[in-house]
Structure 1
Amino acid sequence: MRHSRPLLALACALAFALPAQAAVDAKLSPDQVTITDDGKPVLVYRARTADPAQPGRLNYIHPLYAPDGTALTEDGPADHPHQRGVFWAWHQVKLNGQPAADGWFMTGLTYFVKGQKFQGQTDGSGVLTVDLDWMVSKDGELVYVASETTKITVHPLDKGGRTLDFDTAITPKVDGLSLGGSDDAKGYGGFSIRLVRPDQLTFASQGKVVQPQVGQVSAGSSMGFTWPASAGYPAWAVGLACKANGQPITQWILRRELSMQNCAFPGRVPVQLTKGQPLRLQAAIVIQPRKAP
């Protein structure tokens, strides 16, 4: 009995020394993965299409939630039914220089999710890893053209805000695969986000207001999006930054209308991929309380 107090003190000390169990958690199912923080929803990853007529409508995030539970994204709006929350897609999916599919419009290309894994981290964050195959429909057959591994890291709240990191590796399994944005002067394609009420957004980069244009806008390596500081709009600011193979993307498609926002990569001219060598795309989304005017 004379050792009970020292042992109790040691046990308490060890309990306080151990890292707190991560509050970020996930519920996995064949259809979707729901990530939560302290039981509150953060995002939903769509792992299976809900519409057999759209076999390519998967491998994206919707809804993406603000820390107060406000849904910040839209999926399949009437104005652009193909836009879908947070997504990464290209109009030009080519094989040996010839059009093979359109990942943006979800025609000719679909994905097969092979595995989902979620791991909590000692810093309180959580990482969802998804492995999938890209399949192109060609001459009545499905052709396995690439594998994709996407890691989504959800960080715990920090000063009322949240950061999410996306890390995608697309590895060609055939020779001659290339990806390109829209085949026009706009050249939009790559990592995109369809925010709610986009017609009311204000844009800023490097501390300066940025005006949207029909074509690409050259700006800094990050872009901020805010809604009006009035009732009926999200009381949040959203930041976005993207990289391709480690290089910051500074070309943007910005829309103050009913449409999406896009880190434009590679643009109109397709980038040629090499069999077995991954194309690495990274993006960070920051959600912070809107500053008082």
Structure 2
Amino acid sequence: MEFIYTNPTGLTDLEVLEVGTQACTPAMKFGPGVRDMYILHYVHDGYGTYAADGRAEPIGPGGLFLVVPNTVHSYWPDPDKPWHYSWFGFVGTMAARLAKQAGFVEPAPVRTPEPDVALEPLFRHLMAYREEPAKELLLTGLLYRIFGTLAVPDDTPPLRPDVGLHVRKAVSFMNARYADPIGLADIAAHVGLDAKYVCRLFRQRLSMSPYRYLTDVRMRKACRLLRSHLLGIAEIARSVGYADPLLFSRMFKRTIGVSPSAYREMARRENGTDSG
């Protein structure tokens, strides 16, 4: 076994506490037990099994499994072809969200990406960071890169192939500028068409108005921010293009069906966090 322990950096969003690599023997089983941090494993070669919450998932070369803090779990190598894996141990306020975006879903967070997803080089030379003076920041940056490589698409609905160039251009503009106080005139000016004609195109292609599409974009972004628990309602309102928090709250309830504060409380309960 080879590993590196890092020094505390004060980073709160994401902080790597350790990295390591190990070629296991058939007897090297962990658990059942719990850990106090997330541990992301990547299997270079060989085979093994990860078990949590009554589910056991076999994992082979190119597969990953995520240990979730304070969750009872076990993992063990195949007796004939034991695995060789590398790992990141990490914590942070963004850790759960990043793991979810990367496709790790409890109770048994296991992934085997497509062969063209180039993860192995990112895990191959972790021990080379041992002598780097800024290894903590470099390893945290590498972990962000791994999560970015694994990230599943966001919840923005894909456009049909027949939506047309002008509608695609308008949609791209709204997805990029939703945090600004843009309106129909701005959208029409961006695509170089009359505002009424833009509305007609949207209704023909997407069965909604540009205003409705922009509102949906803003509310999807607001839902993400509310689930993160990092910003207040007024800050979230400004972050998605509403200078008036009361107007934002009315639009959110009209679109989502509950108030922003009620949505945040629901997210807290789903995540099992303390509402206090």
Q: TM-score, normalised by structure 1?
A: 0.25
**Largest Rg, 1 or 2:** 2
Q: TM-score, normalised by structure 2?
A: 0.26
